[in-house]
Amino acid sequence: MSEHSVVEAKNNLSDLIDRALKGEAVVITRHGKPMVELKAVQPLPRRITEADIEWLRARRVGRKSTEDAGSLVSRMRDEDWR
């Protein structure tokens, strides 16, 4: 956790916001007393890993297709849907 006075926070707000978005506890003090904590409004999504993709592949239901999603959407778009 890092503590910063109001004056420091005003001068370094952009940096403090970036640090808070990365998960660091950032506290703004007034007269040496903690007053405000900066934190992300909602947690940032984590990156999708190869393990996540393998987990999804193992649990996929239905047709096993080797066609990628972009090709499938293009093919569906171009079909005659009468």
Range among 6-10, 21-25, 64-68 rated most confident: 6-10
- Closest to 63 in 3D by CA, of 53, 54, 72, 55: 72
Domain containing residue 21: 2-38
29 belongs to a structural domain: yes
For residue 29, give the CATH number of its domain. 3.40.1620.10
50 belongs to a structural domain: no
52 belongs to a structural domain: no
Phi/psi of residue 63, nearest 5 degrees: -60, 130
The count of domains in the chain is 1
pLDDT at res. 68: 84
- pTM, whole model, 2 decimals? 0.50
pLDDT(82) > 90: no
| 22-66 per-position pLDDT tens digit | 889 999 999 999 999 998 887 767 888 999 988 888 887 776 677
Q: Is the dihedral of CA 35, 38, 41, 45 positive or negative?
A: negative
Query: CA-to-CA distance for 25 and 76, rounded, in angstroms?
Result: 48
25 belongs to a structural domain: yes
73 belongs to a structural domain: no
